[in-house]
Structure 1
Amino acid sequence: MPVTVKLDDLLYAKRMTLTELAERVDITLANLSILKTGKAKAIRFSTLESICKVLECQPGDLLGFEEGEN
């Protein structure tokens, strides 16, 4: 998949668990886990905004694009 999710790196940098992020963003742990593993097909802008607010990051910090994969 050319679009990658760098949630693990951001969580590590903020010393935050996936469970804590799920609670702060008000999203289920299962859905956040799907996003983290790159299995998500889409993400709502409101969810992306909430994650970025909590992690104090930009969408580009969370998502990456790796050309040539697929």
Structure 2
Amino acid sequence: MKQIVLRPQLRRKLLIIAVISLLLASALEMYTFGLHSDFPGRWLRSFLVFYVLIAITSLLIVPGVNYGMGKFIRR
């Protein structure tokens, strides 16, 4: 039996975050440093940093604060 690892909604959100991170990392690296021999390494590092920051913010922090404030207001 095949198990679903990620729900389709979460998978779609992660793919959108990956595309946004890819575009941001590419724009930042190309604008700041241009194309040099160490471009792939810097690009990968900046992509991972953007991906982790955006994913944590949009999938954990914002819903957590929303949930907490909803509980606080509806006491």
TM-score, length-normalised on structure 1?
0.30
Higher RCO (Cα < 8 Å, 6 or more apart): 1
Identify the structure with the greater strand proportion. 1
TM-score, length-normalised on structure 2?
0.29
Identify the structure with the greater helix proportion. 2
